[in-house]
Structure 1
Amino acid sequence: MQWLARICVQRPVLASVIVLVFVVVGLIGYTRLPVDRFPKVDFPTVAITTRLNGATPKEVETQITDKIEEAVNTVSGIDELRSVSSEGISQVIVVFLLEKNVDVAAQEIRDRVNRIIVDLPDDADPPIVEKLDPDASPILNVALTADRPAREITEYADKVLRRQLESVPGVGQATLLGGRKRQINVWMDPVRLRSFNLTAIDVQKALRSQNVQIPAGTVKDAASQEGLRVLGKAASVAELRQMVVREKDGGLVRLGDVARVDDGEEEPQTAARRNGVPSVVISLRKQSGENTIKVVDAVQERLTEVKKMLPAGYSINVVRDNSLVIRTSTHAVQEHLILGGGFAARIVLLFLGNTRATVIAALSIPTSIIAAFGVMWAQDVTLNQISLVALALAVGIVIDDAIIVVENIVHHMEEKGENAHDAAINGTREIGLAVMATTLSLLAVFVPVAFLSGIVGMFLKSFGLTMAFAIAVSLLISFTLVPSLAARMLGRRRKSWIERALDRVVNVFYRPIEAIYMIMLRFSMRHRWVIILACFGALASLPTLMGIVQKSFMPPTEEAEFIVNIRVPEGTTLASTDLLGERVARSIRALPGVESTLLTIGDNDQRVPNLAGIYVRLTDPDTRTA
């Protein structure tokens, strides 16, 4: 690397171009990096969902779940197999080993399930096999409230608001909770059915065969052709009442003669309450791999436009925003990164006492950090807590090589009387091997972190890659940009009054530190075996200390929110679960520091009526009194 330093001193443009290439790529990568709370981790998990309307949990288990479990149990690489059989729905979750490719696993599961479809009940829906993507979790909940019937609010939420939000770039799915859609209900009278010698099956067949709209071919002439359709669907409730169920004794038995038909609403399958008020909530999920903050900002902009067109009496409120935690955590780490860089530069200025030397050394911090964004982009690493912590830690490391090179160049100029050009070449060559050895030892520590196995390895991959590349770029900068700038900026000159003042300040507290260090050094050299035994004693104490230190996968943090999950006994109705959940939510709202609650029931693919979730939003920790 010494030859590279000599070339860069002689050709400063080359040094600038080498560094600018990394900086430009890093800046481009930074603009395209997705922001998330944690690294993207793909857990190879496949879900198989099958519906059998009207079946009890026991029937679902024996007729569907057991057969699916038996079929998929032969797939290789399964780590865990579990299932949930509830009323009308079977869900089998297959968790594979981390080494298993999730696409291959899903295809193998799909093949096994296709083989036993003929063994499932005839009226069961075809099983749905899908990969579970943790990255596609809900990011935003929007509540629509109004002093209107639930059906009217649901119609607006489904036909207008949901479609507006689903068209936002990055939004993958919008799910309605607490709504009741329009539904034409046919209430059959058993007495009148018996009087006409009819059954409910007869009415069902009549509705299926007559309330249809089917293609009837094509009408052609010499110049054109038109499609022909048979319009048999009822356009109103009145037309539906006139539908003929049977012809009897020369008379027609119409639907209105044996049933009451009304324009009503469907039975509720989900429920949602914001602070106790029934609401229609739209749960938004992002597309896999999208930037959470960017998607939320785009949705917020669209909501601002939608609010201007809301009907009178309607209101829209964001009741849950998962990007807030991401913003808070990433902003905190970014703030520490900037402060760390500033303090590192000030410490260097304090000890070197040379403003130009400080500028040269401090340039390695932003260039190395920015260049690291390029490899993060290339390796599909997100800006998350783990990668940002790596960058914050790298701030104090990437400047080390530059400090050593600059200090040695200044030493050659002041102690050996060399000019800046020769000092840049000779000083870099003299300590080049030591700088390279130091950097390679750091790389030997952080590179293996990127290749750890298991879930921990997936989380720390971004940490190892970010640290390793930032350190490698700092080595390149110390052999290219640093000697090139030193040869032109560190010419012989009188020290300014600021630099002379810094020298006096440094001497005030550095001399006592140096004196204490010299005492410790003399003791160590005279009692070498004591130092060696102390080192071995420290190493021997590691197992004991590791057992004492508390351990956790993630440190505890203040997120100003939490979720309460409630599961009541099987068979509990939605109304009963809603009543019990609201009692719990009311008790939580009475606690100090609670800002709002959001109760949701049936917020899953199975629409389980006995499972409720209460999202609790707390006040800001800075303003919280208790």
Structure 2
Amino acid sequence: MKFTDIFIQRPVLATVVSLLIFIIGLKSVFNLDVRQYPKVENTVITITTTYPGANAQLMQGFITQPLQTSVASADGIDYLNSSSTQGVSTIQAHLKLNFDSSIAFTDILAKVNAVTGQLPRDANSPVITKTTGSSIALLYISYSSDKISGQQIYDVLTRIVQPKIQSVSGVASADILGGNPFAMRIWLQPDKMAALNITADDINKALTSNSYLSAAGQLKGQYTVTNIKAETDLHSEEEFNKLVVKEVNGKLIRMRDVAQVELGSENYSSSVTFNGKKGVFIGVNSVPTANPLTVVQEVRKVLPDILKSMPPSLAQVVVYDSTEFISSSIKDVIKTLAEATIIVVIVIFLFLGSIRSVIIPIVTIPLSLVGVCSIMLLLGYTINLLTLLSMVLAIGLVVDDAIVVVENIQRHIEEGKNSFQAALQGAKEIALPVITMTITLSAVYAPIGLMGGLTGALFKEFALTLAASVIVSGIIALTLSPMMCSKILRFEESNEGFAKWLDKKFNELQLFYEKRLIAVINYRPVVLIFGTLILFSVFFLFKLTPKELAPKEDQGFLLAIANAPQYANINYLEKYTEQIDGIFAKFPERAAHFIANGRNGENGAFAGFVLKPWGDRHRSAQALQPLIQKELSDISGINAFIFALPDLPTGASGFPVQMVLKSTDSYTNIYQVMEELKASAKKSGLFIVVDSDLNFETPQLNISIDKSKAADVNISMQQIGQQLATFLGGNYTNLFSMDGRSYKIIPQLSDTNRYNPSDLKKTYIKSNSGIFVPLSNFISFKMSSEPNSLNQFQQLNSATFSAVMMPGQTTSTGVDFLKKEADRIMPYGMTYDFSGDSRTEQKEGNALLLTFTFALIIIFLVLSAQFESFRDPLIIMISVPMAICGALIPLNLGLATINIYTEIGLITLIGLITKHGILMVEFANKLREENNYDIRTAIEKAASIRLRPILMTTAAMVLAVIPLIIASGAGASSRHDIGIVIASGLTIGTLFTLFIVPTMYTYLARSDEKVKHEKAKTE
């Protein structure tokens, strides 16, 4: 082939080509962004509407239903779920992966505005927020003090800390947790109000009309302008206390006469603790396009300046930094990269036995890995865990082509040719196989590049980076490597010392292999039966292997959720979460922990258990999880569960397993089915935690009103409803300003006047005739238990089953069990769906299987085009099921599972194992064409001559992934899984290939007459 001759005859040209690849790549390295994963946008748009005092049924019927019906038609929505609870409606629109969230947000905003007029008049306007990525913040920062209150801390954060953090480039939001803004609380005393003839309506009118924000304007003289500030609003407790509510019988009734005024908190239903000490948190979230590593780095830079601006008594501590896992993972992968390079160098030396020979393929490693960075930059890729992982695998691949070239040229030198002639001849012979192997290995990743969904979004960069590395190495193998062989390799060196001893041993191995191969081919039918059995075994091994979306990673963080009974308030919750504090503190692996009480309802909490760095502890997060869960289960007053964060950027929140039962049926019937499903799940022994978001523990006081009696005393239903809303609802009636900011004014009965239903009977209401009548005259009470929340999924009534798998069990096993049980239990008209990670796993499950099949078809077609034959590719690809079988064996032994990483490893195996067949089949065909060998003689000789490069490339690849297999620390599980698949599959597949491919060649190769006929046509 003239192409390789050019570079051997023009060494400067070959050197310049390689230097250009290296220099452009090196420049690109410094321009590549660094992040954890490729850019993936999982966006949830949340519509929150509050209507203080309204029950769940009212919220669902009059707020949730019209809003979600309108929003459902917006573009880009994967699914909708909603929750209606006391006073709060929450609708979440989960967008399709990587759908433009700005377009969806604008569309949803328009849909919400279109129906806002249909909502109850007293309901607050819907608030629409957009969240992309993890439900857990990128960074949590704690602020605490022994000298100032939680409201004061909150005020400092809103005035000083929050603005500075949100001004950092890449920060989407800095959310305050555990604190509440100031509010002027008007604690009403109903007995005094009745005695002084003051109604709830009087209170509301006084607060509305006497705290008025006036825009008075200006005075304009002939030459001057004077601004006017009218003091028409109230600012302090003293001013509110003096506020005149009404004049009764010539006497001024002031607010202090009927209420206790306090500058308090907007609500008292949440709190946060850090290592057992109360404080207020800020959770920092980044925008989807930002690099989280850079965002956290920039936020940390402004923290010292923030600390200087705050009161001295306020302490600032970074509680949790998610980028520590990212940074540690990247460092570990880079370390693995270096270890793999060293191993490959040693392997090549042991096979070639010559320092000179080693230099040539080793040069390929930096040239290929650095050179591919220019392609990554061109494609808009980043340096992330997956592209770095592809580079680790590339180390074993990029030397393959160079090894094959060096070994073939070295063989010609040993046969007596000088270095220059050997390079010309050897490069010509090997050029076609090198091109074929390069195209084949690159083509195997084409289907991944075309995949949609999470797998495609994540592994497109992995696949194309690896394919690009192989292409660059192929170019170097055909340009630089032959030239270097012509200048460096010497016959004398290959015939002395270690090299001579190594050649002797390989000759002995070659002779041993030839004898065994001849014996195997003599029993061709047995080999055919054995190969068929292997083919069928792959199907059964695949079915029996445990499956999950991704391997469980030790991210250095565990998340806990605690739920108190529905009747419990924040005081109850705090009492029991104190026990969680004590449990977390017991474990020596704990670096810090925090608890946020009052999240997702006054009876709910979430907690974070931050572990020490990976090198400072012996137990992993996975090992600690069941131990902590056992302790949490002993807390009798609450249900507390601990689990790991999602291992992939799915944007999911909550437990790893989530199945949704949905129906047009009543919540009572859904609840019965859910309870039966939970009972079956608990009996199965597959789950360590089982929970549901539907129960009937919420106490509801149903007030029955005798409308006839109310009418007799001239009291309307509107009057009763408005008074109850003021007394109990906690809604604000107006705003007041303090130090340049506005805060809410909230009238409400004091705690001592709303402990139990009997307190309501002590309140009075004014009739239209001016008489104060006790409410007890025409109301009665009845207690009932209602659902804690009215949830819907895709606009159908729903309940979500949530679970954490037992150690050693996979989510796939759990989901399969739940599907069978749901099919058995569910009545007609009820269906199930999935949310969270389970939904992603269900969507991605068949995608990779189809991609695997597509990869096989692509490789077959590429090889057919290269060999101008449909038979030769079939022979070559017989090695694929052998390798897959070898890869599935350790997975069945429990060393890994079938997951997103191992499936990518299996696809990689297709390209790796077919290289062996290409080397043998291509050389056998050449021997038949040039030397007129018969089929058997040609394949026996080709297999014998190609034994050394096959073993060399296999050893280089297998040993290069050993650092992946023995990896520890952050992100080790994914590296281990892909490493074990490639090492076992390639090792076992190569052993089978060395015997089965030659045997099948004798069955399927083109006949001698056809080869002679084709040769005559070309001549």
Structure 2-normalised TM-score?
A: 0.55
How far apart, in 1, do the equivalents of 2:3 and 2:271 lie? Answer: 68
The residue number in structure 1 matching 2:462 is 463
Q: Which residue of 490, 514, 517 corresponds with 2:510?
A: 514
The residue number in structure 1 matching 2:605 is 612
Q: Quick one: structure 1 residues 425 and 221, their matched pair in 2 at CA, closer, same or farther if it must change by over 3 Å? A: farther
* 1:555 maps to 2:548: no
CA contact (8 A) 2:442 2:467 kept: yes
How far apart, in 2, do the equivalents of 1:229 and 1:389 lie? Answer: 66
Q: CA deviation at 1:344?
A: 1.0
1:335 alignment partner AA = K
The residue number in structure 1 matching 2:351 is 351
How far apart, in 2, do the equivalents of 1:591 and 1:368 lie? Answer: 46
How far apart, in 2, do the equivalents of 1:173 and 1:76 lie? Answer: 25
How far apart, in 1, do the equivalents of 2:57 and 2:21 lie? Answer: 63
Equivalent residues, number? 618
1:129-156 deviation line (CA, Å, top 9, x unaligned): 4444116851111222322233343334
Q: Quick one: structure 1 residues 125 and 30, their matched pair in 2 at CA, closer, same or farther if it must change by over 3 Å? A: farther
The residue number in structure 1 matching 2:895 is none
The residue number in structure 1 matching 2:763 is none
Aligned residue runs from structure 1 range 87-236, under 5 A: 87-95=86-94, 102-134=101-133, 137-148=136-147, 149-190=149-190, 193-194=193-194, 197-220=197-220, 228-236=228-236
How far apart, in 1, do the equivalents of 2:135 and 2:481 lie? Answer: 45
Q: CA deviation at 1:435?
A: 0.5
Q: Quick one: structure 1 residues 66 and 390, their matched pair in 2 at CA, closer, same or farther if it must change by over 3 Å? A: same
Q: CA deviation at 1:393?
A: 1.2
How far apart, in 2, do the equivalents of 1:56 and 1:252 lie? Answer: 37
Q: Quick one: structure 1 residues 287 and 223, their matched pair in 2 at CA, closer, same or farther if it must change by over 3 Å? A: farther
2:579 alignment partner AA = R
The residue number in structure 1 matching 2:360 is 360
Aligned residue runs from structure 1 range 8-407, under 5 A: 8-9=7-8, 14-43=13-42, 45-74=44-73, 79-95=78-94, 102-134=101-133, 137-148=136-147, 149-190=149-190, 193-194=193-194, 197-220=197-220, 228-246=228-246, 254-256=254-256, 258-304=258-304, 306=306, 311-407=311-407
Q: CA deviation at 1:570?
A: 3.4
Q: CA deviation at 1:397?
A: 0.6
How far apart, in 2, do the equivalents of 1:357 and 1:615 lie? Answer: 55
Q: Which segment is superposed worse, 204-213 or 84-93? A: 204-213
Q: CA deviation at 1:327?
A: 2.4
CA contact (8 A) 2:423 2:482 kept: yes
Q: Which residue of 527, 530, 548 corresponds with 1:531?
A: 527
* 1:573 maps to 2:566: no
1:156-210 deviation line (CA, Å, top 9, x unaligned): 4443333443333333221222224333333345455556644343343343344
How far apart, in 2, do the equivalents of 1:602 and 1:467 lie? Answer: 48
Q: Quick one: structure 1 residues 249 and 223, their matched pair in 2 at CA, closer, same or farther if it must change by over 3 Å? A: same
How far apart, in 2, do the equivalents of 1:16 and 1:231 lie? Answer: 83
How far apart, in 1, do the equivalents of 2:118 and 2:588 lie? Answer: 56
How far apart, in 2, do the equivalents of 1:512 and 1:423 lie? Answer: 24
Q: CA deviation at 1:436?
A: 0.4
Q: Which segment is superposed worse, 457-466 or 299-308? A: 299-308
Q: CA deviation at 1:442?
A: 0.7
Q: Quick one: structure 1 residues 126 and 264, their matched pair in 2 at CA, closer, same or farther if it must change by over 3 Å? A: closer
Helix, strand or coil at the partner of 2:593: strand
1:363-416 deviation line (CA, Å, top 9, x unaligned): 221222223333434444444433322221111011111222233444455545
CA contact (8 A) 1:449 1:463 kept: no
CA contact (8 A) 2:41 2:99 kept: no
* 1:433 maps to 2:412: no
CA contact (8 A) 1:450 1:463 kept: no
How far apart, in 1, do the equivalents of 2:198 and 2:188 lie? Answer: 11
Q: Quick one: structure 1 residues 126 and 29, their matched pair in 2 at CA, closer, same or farther if it must change by over 3 Å? A: farther
Structure 1 unmatched runs, 5+ = none
Q: Which segment is superposed worse, 531-540 or 68-77? A: 68-77
CA contact (8 A) 1:353 1:500 kept: no
Q: Percent identity?
A: 28
How far apart, in 2, do the equivalents of 1:28 and 1:247 lie? Answer: 81
1:52 alignment partner AA = Y
Q: Quick one: structure 1 residues 218 and 76, their matched pair in 2 at CA, closer, same or farther if it must change by over 3 Å? A: closer
1:397-454 deviation line (CA, Å, top 9, x unaligned): 111112222334444555453454x654554333211100011111221121222233
Q: Quick one: structure 1 residues 599 and 417, their matched pair in 2 at CA, closer, same or farther if it must change by over 3 Å? A: same
CA contact (8 A) 2:43 2:133 kept: no
Q: Which segment is superposed worse, 334-343 or 446-455? A: 446-455
Helix, strand or coil at the partner of 1:142: strand
Q: Quick one: structure 1 residues 529 and 223, their matched pair in 2 at CA, closer, same or farther if it must change by over 3 Å? A: farther
Q: Quick one: structure 1 residues 309 and 42, their matched pair in 2 at CA, closer, same or farther if it must change by over 3 Å? A: closer
The residue number in structure 1 matching 2:767 is none
How far apart, in 1, do the equivalents of 2:229 and 2:446 lie? Answer: 67
Structure 2 unmatched runs, 5+ = 620-1019
2:572 alignment partner AA = S
Q: CA deviation at 1:77?
A: 7.1
Q: Quick one: structure 1 residues 240 and 535, their matched pair in 2 at CA, closer, same or farther if it must change by over 3 Å? A: same
Structure 1-normalised TM-score?
A: 0.86
Helix, strand or coil at the partner of 1:261: strand
